[in-house]
């Protein structure tokens, strides 16, 4: 592979069961090899905060080279990585199959896995990563949980910042008393037998966020697919493990992968396609799980059958066509291309489905929101997250769009906070939605 070529990057299996993976000297040797190449290139300076931290660290050292940087000073560089994959997917000219063989995000993952093995992971981060458990606990007391986590609740948010390290200014996801699974069970939909795509069947993997925090995305998906003749089932076997992966808990990710793939595999055998409601979860099912468990047939089968929401809509839109009935919704839209949607190598599918809406005016925002999962809500990270996401927020604001759409629900809310910092009054006239919700609006659903 030549430098800067258009050949597709490849990713190696994550060899997390190999004892060498956890060898601290071998890890340090690889960190120094990769960091030295990054230092000589610096093409990634304007992505996340990992690279400015690395370059500042080297520039401030005695020799202004990596040889005078202590290994213990690497940790802030690792901690700033949000595993967004954008350096690997869009910037680095040295990814495999290039002979330099750089995979910066997975090297940061290895560092965290070593920390996890050595008991150096943080308690709060570890507990926040248990999104499935947290959703189950919060749902029965959702009004109280939402009251306590509101930004305007200075008392409880101050306590949370002091004890948990969650920045009191960061918007936190709301919880719902009724899950997406329960709503779907109580509200069966009539399938449009006259639609061009009639006969298709889909199982919707609800995800933690879709099930407990934002059922609206799943409900919109069900309605749009039913309108287009597609039968749907809502299934939630458990978390995809992305929050665990961020903490280096690779064994926990694989345990979840085996559980989810076993249940969803039964639906695949019955002729169902699989849709994941959140782009990060789709990325896990399609790409990360097979790298962690390459010999698991159920995981491989699920990987090949899984679609992102917008990806699936465009798949049947191009093959069979869309059902009639969409009307203009009368407002321009800013479509933020979330990092974990871009990392799926499927194209700008969120923007494509918005352009299906008659007279749609779509502005594409192709910059990171800066949120980075649970990373962006923590004290010390939140201001950095806003800084990283400021170009995206500025571009969305410049578009004068009423609707700010993103396939990542956390990114959408974080962008709204960035827009609020730029235009405190104007943000009130805007809404943050998943693009499938705008498609449902165009159908009048």
CATH number where 378 lies: 3.40.50
Shared-domain flag, residues 205 and 333: no
- Which phi and psi angles does 378 have, rounded to 5°? -85, 145
348: left (phi over 0), alpha (psi -120 to 50) or beta: beta
Asked whether 106 and 343 are in contact (CB, 8 A), the reply is: no
> What distances in angstroms separate CA 397 from CA 31, 390, 422, 430, one per listed residue?
39, 10, 8, 10
Task: Find the domain containing 99 and state its range.
Answer: 19-118
Shared-domain flag, residues 302 and 341: no
> What distances in angstroms separate CA 64 from CA 51, 55, 59, 265, one per listed residue?
15, 9, 5, 53
Asked whether 257 and 303 are in contact (CB, 8 A), the reply is: no
Residue range 271-299: mean pLDDT, rounded: 95
User: Binning pLDDT at 50, 70 and 90, where does residue 439 land?
Assistant: very high
Evaluate whether residue 7 is within a structural domain: no
Evaluate whether residue 298 is within a structural domain: yes
Shared-domain flag, residues 50 and 133: no
Shared-domain flag, residues 196 and 267: yes
Task: Produce one character per residue of 239-266: b if its CB has 16 or more CB atoms within 10 Å, e if not.
Answer: bbbbbbbbbbbbebbbebbeebbebbbe
Shared-domain flag, residues 200 and 139: no
Shared-domain flag, residues 80 and 149: no
Shared-domain flag, residues 91 and 23: yes
Model confidence pLDDT, tens digit, residues 157-184: 999 999 999 999 988 889 999 999 999 9
Domain count, the chain: 4
3-class DSSP state of 232: strand
Evaluate whether residue 10 is within a structural domain: no
Residue range 298-309: mean pLDDT, rounded: 96
pLDDT at 1: 46
Model confidence pLDDT, tens digit, residues 368-400: 888 877 888 889 888 888 888 888 888 888 888
Model confidence pLDDT, tens digit, residues 398-421: 888 888 899 888 888 888 888 888
Evaluate whether residue 113 is within a structural domain: yes
Q: Which residues contact 368 (CB under 8 A, 6 or more apart)?
A: 47, 48, 84, 86, 339, 388, 389, 392
Residue range 34-59: mean pLDDT, rounded: 91
Residue range 105-114: mean pLDDT, rounded: 96
Shared-domain flag, residues 239 and 312: yes
Residue 130 reports pLDDT greater than 60? yes
Shared-domain flag, residues 226 and 295: yes
Pair of tokens at residue 410? 């956390």
Residue-averaged pLDDT of the chain:
91
Shared-domain flag, residues 142 and 210: no
430/34: higher pLDDT: 34
Evaluate whether residue 278 is within a structural domain: yes
pLDDT at 345: 86
Evaluate whether residue 5 is within a structural domain: no
Residue range 137-145: mean pLDDT, rounded: 93
Which helix H or strand E contains 202, and what residues bound it? strand 201-205
Shared-domain flag, residues 221 and 267: yes
- Which phi and psi angles does 333 have, rounded to 5°? -130, 140
Evaluate whether residue 56 is within a structural domain: yes
Chain mean position to CA 408? 6
Asked whether 246 and 79 are in contact (CB, 8 A), the reply is: no
pLDDT at 398: 87
Evaluate whether residue 274 is within a structural domain: yes
Shared-domain flag, residues 224 and 353: no
């Amino acid at each position: 592979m030549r430098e800067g070529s258009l050949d597709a990057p490849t990713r190696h299996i994550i060899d997390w069961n190999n004892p060498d993976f956890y060898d601290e000297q071998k890890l340090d040797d690889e960190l120094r090899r990769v960091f030295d190449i990054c230092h000589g290139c610096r093409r990634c300076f304007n992505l996340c905060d990992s690279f400015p931290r690395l370059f500042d660290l080297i520039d401030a050292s005695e020799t202004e080279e990596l040889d005078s940087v202590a290994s213990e000073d690497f940790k802030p560089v690792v901690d700033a990585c949000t595993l967004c994959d954008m350096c690997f997917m869009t910037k680095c000219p040295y990814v495999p199959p290039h002979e330099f063989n750089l995979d910066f995000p997975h090297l940061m993952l290895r560092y965290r896995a070593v920390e996890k093995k050595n008991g150096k992971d943080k308690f709060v981060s570890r507990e926040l990563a248990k999104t499935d458990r947290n959703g189950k606990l919060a749902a029965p007391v959702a009004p109280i949980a939402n009251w306590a986590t509101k930004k305007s609740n200075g008392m409880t948010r101050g306590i949370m910042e002091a004890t948990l390290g969650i920045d009191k200014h960061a918007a936190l996801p709301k919880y719902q008393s009724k899950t997406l699974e329960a709503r779907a069970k109580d509200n069966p939909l009539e399938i449009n037998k006259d639609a061009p795509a009639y006969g298709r069947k889909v199982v919707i993997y609800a995800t933690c966020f879709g099930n407990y925090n934002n059922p609206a995305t799943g409900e919109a998906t069900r309605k749009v697919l039913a309108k287009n003749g597609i039968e749907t089932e809502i299934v939630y076997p458990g978390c995809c493990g992305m929050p665990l992966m961020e903490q280096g808990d690779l064994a926990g990710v694989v345990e979840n992968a085996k559980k989810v793939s076993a249940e969803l595999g039964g639906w695949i055998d019955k002729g169902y396609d699989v849709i994941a409601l959140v782009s990060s979860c789709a990325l896990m099912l399609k790409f990360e799980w097979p790298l962690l468990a390459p010999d698991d047939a159920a995981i491989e089968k699920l990987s090949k059958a899984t679609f992102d929401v917008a990806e699936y809509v465009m798949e049947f839109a191009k093959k069979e066509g869309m059902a009639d009935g969409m009307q203009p919704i009368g407002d321009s839209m800013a479509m933020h291309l979330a990092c974990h949607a871009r990392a799926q190598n499927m194209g700008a599918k969120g923007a494509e489905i918005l352009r299906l809406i008659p007279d749609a005016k779509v502005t594409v925002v192709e910059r990171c929101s800066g949120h980075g999962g649970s990373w962006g809500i923590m004290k010390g990270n939140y201001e950095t997250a806003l800084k990283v996401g400021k170009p995206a927020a500025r571009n969305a604001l410049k578009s004068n769009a009423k609707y700010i759409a993103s396939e990542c629900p956390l990114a959408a809310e974080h962008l709204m906070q960035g827009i609020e910092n730029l235009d405190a009054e104007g943000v009130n006239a805007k809404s943050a939605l998943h693009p499938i919700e705008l498609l449902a609006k165009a159908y009048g659903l």
